Structure 1
Protein backbone atom coordinates (compact mmCIF):
# COMPACT_ATOMS: atom_id res chain seq x y z
CA UNK A 1 0.00 0.00 0.00
CA UNK A 2 1.51 3.29 -1.09
CA UNK A 3 2.16 6.17 1.32
CA UNK A 4 -0.19 8.37 -0.68
CA UNK A 5 -3.07 5.93 -0.22
CA UNK A 6 -2.35 5.68 3.49
CA UNK A 7 -2.40 9.45 3.76
CA UNK A 8 -5.76 9.55 2.00
CA UNK A 9 -7.17 6.86 4.31
CA UNK A 10 -6.04 8.51 7.55
CA UNK A 11 -9.12 10.81 7.86
CA UNK A 12 -11.42 7.85 7.21
CA UNK A 13 -9.58 5.73 9.79
CA UNK A 14 -9.84 8.54 12.36
CA UNK A 15 -13.55 8.90 11.65
CA UNK A 16 -14.14 5.17 12.04
CA UNK A 17 -12.14 5.05 15.28
CA UNK A 18 -14.09 7.98 16.70
CA UNK A 19 -17.41 6.39 15.78
CA UNK A 20 -16.41 3.05 17.32
CA UNK A 21 -15.31 4.79 20.51
CA UNK A 22 -18.56 6.75 20.77
CA UNK A 23 -20.59 3.61 20.10
CA UNK A 24 -18.65 1.73 22.78
CA UNK A 25 -19.27 4.43 25.39
CA UNK A 26 -22.99 4.59 24.61
CA UNK A 27 -23.33 0.80 24.61
CA UNK A 28 -21.84 0.61 28.11
CA UNK A 29 -24.74 2.55 29.60
CA UNK A 30 -27.46 1.32 27.25
CA UNK A 31 -26.47 -2.34 27.63
CA UNK A 32 -26.38 -2.13 31.41
CA UNK A 33 -29.73 -0.33 31.47
CA UNK A 34 -31.27 -2.83 29.07
CA UNK A 35 -30.40 -5.71 31.39
CA UNK A 36 -32.92 -4.42 33.95
CA UNK A 37 -35.56 -2.75 31.79
CA UNK A 38 -39.12 -4.06 31.88
CA UNK A 39 -39.98 -6.30 28.92
CA UNK A 40 -36.64 -5.87 27.11
CA UNK A 41 -34.57 -7.15 30.02
CA UNK A 42 -36.64 -10.18 30.98
CA UNK A 43 -34.71 -13.41 31.46
CA UNK A 44 -37.08 -15.23 29.10
CA UNK A 45 -35.69 -13.18 26.17
CA UNK A 46 -32.66 -14.92 24.58
CA UNK A 47 -29.28 -13.31 25.14
CA UNK A 48 -28.72 -12.79 21.40
CA UNK A 49 -31.98 -10.90 21.11
CA UNK A 50 -31.06 -8.69 24.06
CA UNK A 51 -27.65 -8.04 22.51
CA UNK A 52 -29.33 -6.99 19.27
CA UNK A 53 -31.69 -4.73 21.21
CA UNK A 54 -28.72 -3.15 22.99
CA UNK A 55 -26.99 -2.41 19.68
CA UNK A 56 -30.23 -1.07 18.18
CA UNK A 57 -30.90 1.28 21.10
CA UNK A 58 -27.25 2.38 21.04
CA UNK A 59 -27.60 3.36 17.38
CA UNK A 60 -30.69 5.39 18.28
CA UNK A 61 -29.08 7.18 21.23
CA UNK A 62 -25.65 7.77 19.68
CA UNK A 63 -26.56 10.54 17.17
CA UNK A 64 -28.26 12.55 19.94
CA UNK A 65 -25.56 12.34 22.63
CA UNK A 66 -22.48 11.83 20.45
CA UNK A 67 -21.21 15.40 20.92
CA UNK A 68 -21.33 15.11 24.73
CA UNK A 69 -19.18 11.97 25.00
CA UNK A 70 -15.64 12.22 26.40
CA UNK A 71 -12.71 11.60 24.00
CA UNK A 72 -10.55 8.46 24.25
CA UNK A 73 -7.90 8.54 26.95
CA UNK A 74 -5.46 6.39 28.83
CA UNK A 75 -6.27 2.86 29.97
CA UNK A 76 -7.00 4.05 33.52
CA UNK A 77 -9.44 6.63 32.12
CA UNK A 78 -11.16 3.93 30.05
CA UNK A 79 -11.51 1.71 33.12
CA UNK A 80 -13.03 4.51 35.21
CA UNK A 81 -15.35 5.47 32.35
CA UNK A 82 -16.46 1.85 31.94
CA UNK A 83 -17.27 1.44 35.61
CA UNK A 84 -19.10 4.75 35.87
CA UNK A 85 -21.20 4.19 32.73
CA UNK A 86 -22.17 0.64 33.70
CA UNK A 87 -23.10 1.77 37.22
CA UNK A 88 -25.17 4.65 35.83
CA UNK A 89 -26.97 2.34 33.41
CA UNK A 90 -27.75 -0.17 36.15
CA UNK A 91 -29.08 2.60 38.41
CA UNK A 92 -31.42 4.00 35.77
CA UNK A 93 -32.53 0.52 34.79
CA UNK A 94 -33.22 -0.46 38.39
CA UNK A 95 -35.56 2.50 38.86
CA UNK A 96 -37.76 1.16 36.05
CA UNK A 97 -37.48 -2.43 37.30
CA UNK A 98 -39.03 -1.26 40.58
CA UNK A 99 -42.32 -0.71 38.75
CA UNK A 100 -42.40 -4.40 37.78
CA UNK A 101 -41.65 -5.19 41.41
CA UNK A 102 -44.70 -3.10 42.36
CA UNK A 103 -46.91 -5.27 40.15
CA UNK A 104 -45.38 -8.44 41.58
CA UNK A 105 -45.89 -7.23 45.16
CA UNK A 106 -49.47 -6.16 44.45
CA UNK A 107 -50.28 -9.52 42.87
CA UNK A 108 -48.77 -11.41 45.79
CA UNK A 109 -50.74 -9.33 48.31
CA UNK A 110 -53.96 -9.83 46.36
CA UNK A 111 -53.38 -13.59 46.08
CA UNK A 112 -52.64 -13.96 49.78
CA UNK A 113 -55.70 -11.90 50.74
CA UNK A 114 -58.02 -14.11 48.68
CA UNK A 115 -56.40 -17.48 49.56
CA UNK A 116 -55.18 -17.92 45.98
CA UNK A 117 -51.45 -17.75 46.66
CA UNK A 118 -51.15 -21.53 46.26
CA UNK A 119 -52.01 -21.26 42.56
CA UNK A 120 -48.62 -20.75 40.94
CA UNK A 121 -47.59 -19.79 37.45
CA UNK A 122 -44.32 -19.02 35.73
CA UNK A 123 -43.34 -15.37 35.63
CA UNK A 124 -41.54 -13.60 32.75
CA UNK A 125 -38.21 -14.47 34.34
CA UNK A 126 -39.11 -18.13 34.80
CA UNK A 127 -39.50 -17.89 38.58
CA UNK A 128 -42.70 -19.31 40.12
CA UNK A 129 -45.21 -16.71 41.23
CA UNK A 130 -48.91 -16.62 42.15
CA UNK A 131 -51.26 -16.74 39.20
CA UNK A 132 -52.56 -13.23 39.97
CA UNK A 133 -49.01 -11.89 39.89
CA UNK A 134 -48.37 -13.59 36.57
CA UNK A 135 -51.50 -12.08 35.02
CA UNK A 136 -50.71 -8.58 36.30
CA UNK A 137 -47.08 -8.61 35.19
CA UNK A 138 -47.80 -10.01 31.74
CA UNK A 139 -50.74 -7.62 31.32
CA UNK A 140 -48.69 -4.63 32.47
CA UNK A 141 -45.78 -5.42 30.14
CA UNK A 142 -48.13 -6.03 27.22
CA UNK A 143 -49.94 -2.75 27.91
CA UNK A 144 -46.64 -0.86 28.09
CA UNK A 145 -45.53 -2.39 24.78
CA UNK A 146 -48.81 -1.45 23.09
CA UNK A 147 -48.47 2.15 24.29
CA UNK A 148 -45.00 2.56 22.72
CA UNK A 149 -42.56 1.34 25.35
CA UNK A 150 -39.69 1.22 22.82
CA UNK A 151 -40.07 4.93 22.03
CA UNK A 152 -40.34 5.87 25.70
CA UNK A 153 -37.28 3.76 26.56
CA UNK A 154 -35.22 5.49 23.87
CA UNK A 155 -36.28 8.90 25.20
CA UNK A 156 -35.52 7.77 28.76
CA UNK A 157 -32.02 6.66 27.73
CA UNK A 158 -31.37 10.00 26.05
CA UNK A 159 -32.70 11.87 29.07
CA UNK A 160 -30.34 9.94 31.34
CA UNK A 161 -27.42 11.76 29.71
CA UNK A 162 -28.97 15.09 30.65
CA UNK A 163 -29.30 13.95 34.27
CA UNK A 164 -25.90 12.21 34.40
CA UNK A 165 -23.51 13.15 31.55
CA UNK A 166 -21.17 10.48 30.25
CA UNK A 167 -18.04 10.04 32.33
CA UNK A 168 -19.51 11.52 35.53
CA UNK A 169 -19.83 9.50 38.70
CA UNK A 170 -23.23 9.54 40.37
CA UNK A 171 -23.32 11.30 43.71
CA UNK A 172 -23.85 8.56 46.34
CA UNK A 173 -25.98 10.85 48.51
CA UNK A 174 -28.25 11.80 45.63
CA UNK A 175 -28.46 8.18 44.49
CA UNK A 176 -29.37 7.06 48.01
CA UNK A 177 -32.05 9.74 48.31
CA UNK A 178 -33.52 8.85 44.92
CA UNK A 179 -33.35 5.12 45.67
CA UNK A 180 -35.08 5.41 49.02
CA UNK A 181 -37.75 7.64 47.53
CA UNK A 182 -38.43 5.29 44.62
CA UNK A 183 -38.51 2.19 46.84
CA UNK A 184 -41.01 3.91 49.12
CA UNK A 185 -43.12 4.92 46.15
CA UNK A 186 -42.93 1.36 44.80
CA UNK A 187 -44.41 -0.16 47.94
CA UNK A 188 -46.98 2.62 48.21
CA UNK A 189 -48.05 1.92 44.63
CA UNK A 190 -48.16 -1.83 45.30
CA UNK A 191 -50.35 -1.38 48.37
CA UNK A 192 -52.62 1.03 46.49
CA UNK A 193 -53.10 -1.52 43.73
CA UNK A 194 -53.84 -4.34 46.18
CA UNK A 195 -56.00 -2.20 48.52
CA UNK A 196 -59.37 -3.58 47.25
CA UNK A 197 -58.28 -7.13 48.00
CA UNK A 198 -56.90 -6.24 51.43
CA UNK A 199 -60.15 -4.44 52.30
CA UNK A 200 -62.25 -7.36 51.02
CA UNK A 201 -60.18 -9.84 53.05
CA UNK A 202 -60.59 -7.69 56.18
CA UNK A 203 -64.36 -7.51 55.66
CA UNK A 204 -64.49 -11.27 55.09
CA UNK A 205 -62.58 -12.06 58.28
CA UNK A 206 -64.70 -9.67 60.35
CA UNK A 207 -67.92 -11.15 58.95
CA UNK A 208 -66.63 -14.68 59.52
CA UNK A 209 -65.80 -13.84 63.13
CA UNK A 210 -69.27 -12.42 63.77
CA UNK A 211 -70.94 -15.51 62.26
CA UNK A 212 -68.70 -17.81 64.25
CA UNK A 213 -69.62 -16.02 67.48
CA UNK A 214 -73.31 -16.19 66.65
CA UNK A 215 -73.29 -19.86 65.59
CA UNK A 216 -70.30 -21.68 67.12
CA UNK A 217 -71.54 -25.06 65.85
CA UNK A 218 -71.41 -23.93 62.20
CA UNK A 219 -68.17 -24.72 60.36
CA UNK A 220 -67.86 -21.25 58.90
CA UNK A 221 -64.44 -21.94 57.40
CA UNK A 222 -65.77 -24.57 55.02
CA UNK A 223 -68.53 -22.20 53.95
CA UNK A 224 -66.48 -19.01 53.82
CA UNK A 225 -63.38 -20.31 52.00
CA UNK A 226 -65.17 -21.03 48.68
CA UNK A 227 -66.98 -17.71 48.97
CA UNK A 228 -63.67 -15.89 49.50
CA UNK A 229 -62.08 -17.59 46.50
CA UNK A 230 -65.03 -16.89 44.21
CA UNK A 231 -65.30 -13.31 45.45
CA UNK A 232 -61.56 -12.80 44.95
CA UNK A 233 -61.73 -14.01 41.36
CA UNK A 234 -64.70 -11.79 40.57
CA UNK A 235 -63.02 -8.82 42.26
CA UNK A 236 -59.85 -9.48 40.27
CA UNK A 237 -61.88 -9.56 37.05
CA UNK A 238 -63.26 -6.10 37.84
CA UNK A 239 -60.19 -4.54 39.46
CA UNK A 240 -57.40 -5.77 37.14
CA UNK A 241 -58.07 -3.21 34.35
CA UNK A 242 -58.16 -0.39 36.90
CA UNK A 243 -54.98 -1.63 38.54
CA UNK A 244 -53.15 -1.74 35.22
CA UNK A 245 -54.39 1.73 34.23
CA UNK A 246 -53.10 3.18 37.52
CA UNK A 247 -49.80 1.36 37.13
CA UNK A 248 -49.19 2.43 33.53
CA UNK A 249 -49.96 6.05 34.42
CA UNK A 250 -47.35 5.99 37.21
CA UNK A 251 -44.86 4.18 34.98
CA UNK A 252 -45.17 6.58 32.07
CA UNK A 253 -45.16 9.58 34.40
CA UNK A 254 -41.82 8.51 35.84
CA UNK A 255 -40.30 7.86 32.42
CA UNK A 256 -41.39 11.27 31.18
CA UNK A 257 -39.99 13.09 34.21
CA UNK A 258 -37.55 10.94 36.24
CA UNK A 259 -37.13 12.11 39.82
CA UNK A 260 -39.31 15.12 39.18
CA UNK A 261 -40.79 14.77 42.66
CA UNK A 262 -37.40 15.06 44.33
CA UNK A 263 -36.06 18.43 45.51
Structure 2
Protein backbone atom coordinates (compact mmCIF):
# COMPACT_ATOMS: atom_id res chain seq x y z
CA UNK A 1 0.00 0.00 0.00
CA UNK A 2 1.38 3.40 -0.98
CA UNK A 3 1.54 5.95 1.84
CA UNK A 4 0.78 9.53 0.88
CA UNK A 5 3.09 12.31 2.12
CA UNK A 6 1.69 14.39 5.03
CA UNK A 7 1.94 17.58 2.96
CA UNK A 8 -0.26 16.08 0.25
CA UNK A 9 -2.77 14.89 2.82
CA UNK A 10 -2.88 18.38 4.32
CA UNK A 11 -3.47 19.97 0.90
CA UNK A 12 -6.20 17.46 0.07
CA UNK A 13 -7.85 18.09 3.43
CA UNK A 14 -7.78 21.85 2.89
CA UNK A 15 -9.25 21.45 -0.58
CA UNK A 16 -12.07 19.30 0.72
CA UNK A 17 -12.90 21.83 3.43
CA UNK A 18 -12.99 24.61 0.86
CA UNK A 19 -15.21 22.50 -1.41
CA UNK A 20 -17.55 21.80 1.50
CA UNK A 21 -17.73 25.49 2.47
CA UNK A 22 -18.51 26.59 -1.09
CA UNK A 23 -21.14 23.87 -1.44
CA UNK A 24 -22.92 25.15 1.69
CA UNK A 25 -23.42 28.64 0.29
CA UNK A 26 -24.21 27.43 -3.22
CA UNK A 27 -26.79 24.85 -2.15
CA UNK A 28 -28.58 27.37 0.08
CA UNK A 29 -28.80 29.86 -2.78
CA UNK A 30 -29.78 27.30 -5.44
CA UNK A 31 -32.70 26.13 -3.27
CA UNK A 32 -34.16 29.65 -3.62
CA UNK A 33 -32.85 30.57 -7.07
CA UNK A 34 -35.55 31.52 -9.59
CA UNK A 35 -36.24 28.82 -12.22
CA UNK A 36 -33.69 26.40 -10.71
CA UNK A 37 -35.07 26.37 -7.17
CA UNK A 38 -38.79 26.09 -7.93
CA UNK A 39 -40.93 23.75 -5.89
CA UNK A 40 -41.67 21.65 -8.97
CA UNK A 41 -37.95 20.91 -9.54
CA UNK A 42 -36.94 17.51 -8.04
CA UNK A 43 -34.53 17.59 -5.11
CA UNK A 44 -32.01 15.43 -6.99
CA UNK A 45 -31.89 17.97 -9.80
CA UNK A 46 -31.29 20.78 -7.30
CA UNK A 47 -28.51 18.76 -5.68
CA UNK A 48 -26.90 18.16 -9.08
CA UNK A 49 -27.14 21.87 -9.91
CA UNK A 50 -25.55 22.74 -6.57
CA UNK A 51 -22.62 20.40 -7.30
CA UNK A 52 -22.17 21.85 -10.80
CA UNK A 53 -22.23 25.45 -9.53
CA UNK A 54 -19.78 24.50 -6.78
CA UNK A 55 -17.30 23.05 -9.27
CA UNK A 56 -17.62 26.20 -11.41
CA UNK A 57 -17.17 28.64 -8.53
CA UNK A 58 -14.45 26.82 -6.56
CA UNK A 59 -11.49 27.74 -8.84
CA UNK A 60 -12.55 31.40 -8.94
CA UNK A 61 -12.38 32.17 -5.22
CA UNK A 62 -9.50 32.60 -2.82
CA UNK A 63 -9.02 29.70 -0.40
CA UNK A 64 -9.52 30.78 3.23
CA UNK A 65 -7.22 30.23 6.17
CA UNK A 66 -9.22 27.58 7.95
CA UNK A 67 -8.15 25.28 10.78
CA UNK A 68 -10.62 22.39 11.17
CA UNK A 69 -12.22 22.32 14.60
CA UNK A 70 -15.67 21.82 16.06
CA UNK A 71 -16.41 25.48 16.79
CA UNK A 72 -14.90 26.58 13.48
CA UNK A 73 -17.00 24.04 11.59
CA UNK A 74 -20.20 25.13 13.35
CA UNK A 75 -19.43 28.79 12.65
CA UNK A 76 -18.60 28.05 9.02
CA UNK A 77 -21.79 26.06 8.42
CA UNK A 78 -24.01 28.70 10.02
CA UNK A 79 -22.34 31.61 8.25
CA UNK A 80 -22.29 30.13 4.76
CA UNK A 81 -25.88 28.88 4.94
CA UNK A 82 -27.03 32.27 6.26
CA UNK A 83 -25.30 34.20 3.46
CA UNK A 84 -26.58 31.81 0.79
CA UNK A 85 -30.16 31.96 2.06
CA UNK A 86 -30.08 35.76 2.38
CA UNK A 87 -28.84 36.23 -1.19
CA UNK A 88 -31.23 33.57 -2.48
CA UNK A 89 -34.15 35.23 -0.71
CA UNK A 90 -33.24 38.51 -2.40
CA UNK A 91 -33.56 36.77 -5.77
CA UNK A 92 -36.72 34.89 -4.75
CA UNK A 93 -38.42 38.21 -3.95
CA UNK A 94 -38.42 39.01 -7.67
CA UNK A 95 -40.55 35.92 -8.30
CA UNK A 96 -42.83 37.06 -5.48
CA UNK A 97 -43.10 40.45 -7.20
CA UNK A 98 -44.41 38.79 -10.38
CA UNK A 99 -46.88 36.68 -8.40
CA UNK A 100 -48.09 39.73 -6.46
CA UNK A 101 -48.42 41.78 -9.65
CA UNK A 102 -50.48 39.00 -11.23
CA UNK A 103 -52.71 38.79 -8.16
CA UNK A 104 -53.29 42.56 -8.12
CA UNK A 105 -54.02 42.56 -11.86
CA UNK A 106 -56.41 39.61 -11.57
CA UNK A 107 -58.29 41.16 -8.67
CA UNK A 108 -58.58 44.45 -10.56
CA UNK A 109 -59.99 42.83 -13.70
CA UNK A 110 -62.26 40.18 -12.11
CA UNK A 111 -60.07 37.30 -13.30
CA UNK A 112 -58.81 36.13 -9.91
CA UNK A 113 -60.70 32.81 -9.85
CA UNK A 114 -59.81 31.53 -13.33
CA UNK A 115 -57.35 28.61 -13.05
CA UNK A 116 -56.40 29.75 -9.56
CA UNK A 117 -54.85 26.42 -8.54
CA UNK A 118 -52.77 25.75 -11.64
CA UNK A 119 -49.46 26.61 -9.99
CA UNK A 120 -47.65 25.13 -7.02
CA UNK A 121 -48.44 28.33 -5.12
CA UNK A 122 -52.09 29.44 -4.92
CA UNK A 123 -51.92 32.35 -7.36
CA UNK A 124 -54.44 33.47 -10.00
CA UNK A 125 -53.96 32.67 -13.67
CA UNK A 126 -52.35 36.03 -14.42
CA UNK A 127 -49.78 35.53 -11.68
CA UNK A 128 -49.07 32.01 -12.92
CA UNK A 129 -48.63 33.15 -16.53
CA UNK A 130 -46.44 36.12 -15.62
CA UNK A 131 -44.28 34.01 -13.32
CA UNK A 132 -43.82 31.24 -15.87
CA UNK A 133 -43.05 33.71 -18.65
CA UNK A 134 -40.65 35.67 -16.44
CA UNK A 135 -38.72 32.56 -15.40
CA UNK A 136 -38.49 31.41 -19.02
CA UNK A 137 -37.25 34.86 -20.11
CA UNK A 138 -34.65 35.00 -17.32
CA UNK A 139 -33.37 31.54 -18.26
CA UNK A 140 -33.11 32.49 -21.94
CA UNK A 141 -31.19 35.65 -20.98
CA UNK A 142 -28.53 33.55 -19.24
CA UNK A 143 -29.69 33.36 -15.64
CA UNK A 144 -27.37 30.42 -14.96
CA UNK A 145 -24.34 32.44 -16.08
CA UNK A 146 -25.44 35.48 -14.11
CA UNK A 147 -26.06 33.28 -11.05
CA UNK A 148 -22.52 31.86 -11.23
CA UNK A 149 -21.07 35.36 -11.45
CA UNK A 150 -23.38 36.46 -8.64
CA UNK A 151 -22.03 33.68 -6.40
CA UNK A 152 -18.41 34.51 -7.24
CA UNK A 153 -18.97 38.20 -6.45
CA UNK A 154 -20.70 37.27 -3.19
CA UNK A 155 -17.32 36.17 -1.80
CA UNK A 156 -16.07 39.72 -2.34
CA UNK A 157 -19.01 41.12 -0.37
CA UNK A 158 -19.08 38.38 2.26
CA UNK A 159 -15.77 36.51 2.53
CA UNK A 160 -15.96 32.88 3.56
CA UNK A 161 -16.59 32.52 7.29
CA UNK A 162 -17.47 36.22 7.78
CA UNK A 163 -20.72 36.79 9.64
CA UNK A 164 -22.82 39.65 8.18
CA UNK A 165 -23.66 42.41 10.64
CA UNK A 166 -27.20 41.95 11.94
CA UNK A 167 -28.27 45.64 11.60
CA UNK A 168 -26.98 45.83 8.02
CA UNK A 169 -28.58 42.50 7.08
CA UNK A 170 -31.96 43.44 8.55
CA UNK A 171 -31.92 46.86 6.88
CA UNK A 172 -31.00 45.25 3.56
CA UNK A 173 -33.79 42.69 3.93
CA UNK A 174 -36.43 45.32 4.68
CA UNK A 175 -35.23 47.34 1.69
CA UNK A 176 -35.52 44.35 -0.64
CA UNK A 177 -39.00 43.43 0.61
CA UNK A 178 -40.18 47.01 0.20
CA UNK A 179 -38.75 47.14 -3.30
CA UNK A 180 -40.42 43.83 -4.19
CA UNK A 181 -43.90 45.12 -3.35
CA UNK A 182 -43.29 48.50 -5.00
CA UNK A 183 -42.13 46.69 -8.15
CA UNK A 184 -45.20 44.44 -8.06
CA UNK A 185 -47.55 47.41 -7.82
CA UNK A 186 -45.68 49.24 -10.61
CA UNK A 187 -46.00 46.20 -12.89
CA UNK A 188 -49.73 45.93 -12.17
CA UNK A 189 -50.37 49.66 -12.58
CA UNK A 190 -52.03 49.43 -16.06
CA UNK A 191 -54.59 46.96 -14.73
CA UNK A 192 -55.28 49.11 -11.66
CA UNK A 193 -55.81 52.20 -13.83
CA UNK A 194 -58.14 50.27 -16.14
CA UNK A 195 -60.11 49.03 -13.13
CA UNK A 196 -60.39 52.57 -11.77
CA UNK A 197 -61.69 53.92 -15.09
CA UNK A 198 -64.11 50.99 -15.38
CA UNK A 199 -65.57 51.50 -11.90
CA UNK A 200 -65.90 55.25 -12.39
CA UNK A 201 -67.70 54.75 -15.70
CA UNK A 202 -69.89 52.06 -14.16
CA UNK A 203 -70.84 54.40 -11.33
CA UNK A 204 -71.78 57.21 -13.75
CA UNK A 205 -73.92 54.85 -15.88
CA UNK A 206 -75.61 53.41 -12.80
CA UNK A 207 -76.36 56.90 -11.54
CA UNK A 208 -77.85 57.92 -14.89
CA UNK A 209 -79.87 54.72 -15.40
CA UNK A 210 -80.59 53.04 -12.07
CA UNK A 211 -82.86 50.46 -13.67
CA UNK A 212 -80.06 49.09 -15.91
CA UNK A 213 -78.12 46.07 -14.58
CA UNK A 214 -74.74 47.63 -15.21
CA UNK A 215 -72.85 44.70 -13.70
CA UNK A 216 -74.02 42.35 -16.45
CA UNK A 217 -73.00 44.88 -19.10
CA UNK A 218 -69.69 45.85 -17.54
CA UNK A 219 -68.37 42.43 -16.49
CA UNK A 220 -67.57 41.28 -20.05
CA UNK A 221 -65.99 44.67 -20.78
CA UNK A 222 -63.55 44.58 -17.85
CA UNK A 223 -62.72 40.93 -18.59
CA UNK A 224 -61.91 41.76 -22.21
CA UNK A 225 -59.90 44.81 -21.13
CA UNK A 226 -57.91 42.72 -18.66
CA UNK A 227 -57.09 40.08 -21.26
CA UNK A 228 -56.16 42.73 -23.82
CA UNK A 229 -53.85 44.48 -21.34
CA UNK A 230 -52.28 41.14 -20.47
CA UNK A 231 -51.67 40.43 -24.18
CA UNK A 232 -50.35 43.91 -25.00
CA UNK A 233 -48.49 44.72 -21.79
CA UNK A 234 -46.76 41.44 -20.92
CA UNK A 235 -43.63 42.12 -23.07
CA UNK A 236 -43.09 45.49 -21.38
CA UNK A 237 -43.85 44.09 -17.92
CA UNK A 238 -41.36 41.24 -18.34
CA UNK A 239 -38.74 43.58 -19.81
CA UNK A 240 -38.91 45.88 -16.79
CA UNK A 241 -38.85 42.91 -14.43
CA UNK A 242 -35.84 41.27 -16.12
CA UNK A 243 -33.87 44.54 -16.12
CA UNK A 244 -34.55 44.93 -12.41
CA UNK A 245 -33.57 41.33 -11.69
CA UNK A 246 -30.22 41.56 -13.48
CA UNK A 247 -29.55 44.97 -11.93
CA UNK A 248 -29.88 43.29 -8.53
CA UNK A 249 -27.57 40.47 -9.59
CA UNK A 250 -24.93 42.99 -10.69
CA UNK A 251 -25.20 44.99 -7.46
CA UNK A 252 -27.18 43.28 -4.67
CA UNK A 253 -26.27 45.83 -1.99
CA UNK A 254 -26.81 48.94 -4.09
CA UNK A 255 -29.65 51.44 -3.74
CA UNK A 256 -33.20 50.47 -4.64
CA UNK A 257 -33.64 50.27 -8.38
Q: Which runs of 5+ in 2 are unaligned?
A: none
Return the match for 1:137 from 118, 123, 131: 131
Matched residues in 1 for 2:249 and 2:231: separation? 28
1:73 aligns with 2:68: yes
Q: CA deviation at 1:9?
A: 4.3
Aligned counterpart, 2:231: 237
- Aligned-partner Cα distance in 1 for 2:7–2:118: 54
Runs of 4+ in 1 over 4 A off after TM superposition: none
Distance 2:163 2:84 in 1: 11
In the alignment, the residues of structure 2 paired with residue 102 and residue 201 of structure 1 have an alpha-carbon distance, to the nearest angstrom, of 20
For residues 57-81 of structure 1, the C-alpha deviation after alignment (integer angstroms, 9 at most, x for no partner) is 01111111142x2423211110111
Q: Distance between the aligned counterparts of 1:128 and 1:179, measured in 2?
A: 24
Q: Pick one of 94, 103, 114 that aligns with 2:98.
A: 103
Which whole-Å deviations, capped at 9, do the CAs of 1:195-237 have from their partners, x for residues lacking one?
Answer: 0000000000000000000000000001001111111101110
Of 25, 30, 36, the match for 2:32: 36
* Cα drift, residue 83 of structure 1: 0.6
Residue equivalent to 1:185: 179
- Let me know the Cα RMSD of the aligned residues: 1.2
- Structure 1: unaligned runs, 5 residues or longer: none
CA displacement at 1:176 relative to structure 2: 1.2
Q: Which residue of 2 aligns with 1:53?
A: 49
Whether 2:191 is the aligned partner of 1:197: answer yes
Shift of 1:121: 4.1
Corresponding residue number in structure 2 for 1:152: 146
The TM-score normalised by the length of structure 1 is: 0.94
Q: Structure 1 residue 193: deviation in Å?
A: 0.2
SS in 2 for 1:259: coil
How many residue pairs match? The answer is: 255
| CA distance in structure 2 between the partners assigned to 1:70 and 1:52 by the alignment | 28
1:82 maps onto 2:71 in alignment? no
CA distance in 1, matches of 2:156, 2:201: 55
Report how far residue 11 of structure 1 moved. Answer: 3.8
**Alpha-carbon distance in structure 2 between the residues aligned to 1:81 and 1:37:** 22
Structure 1 counterpart SS, 2:123: strand
1:63 counterpart residue number: 59
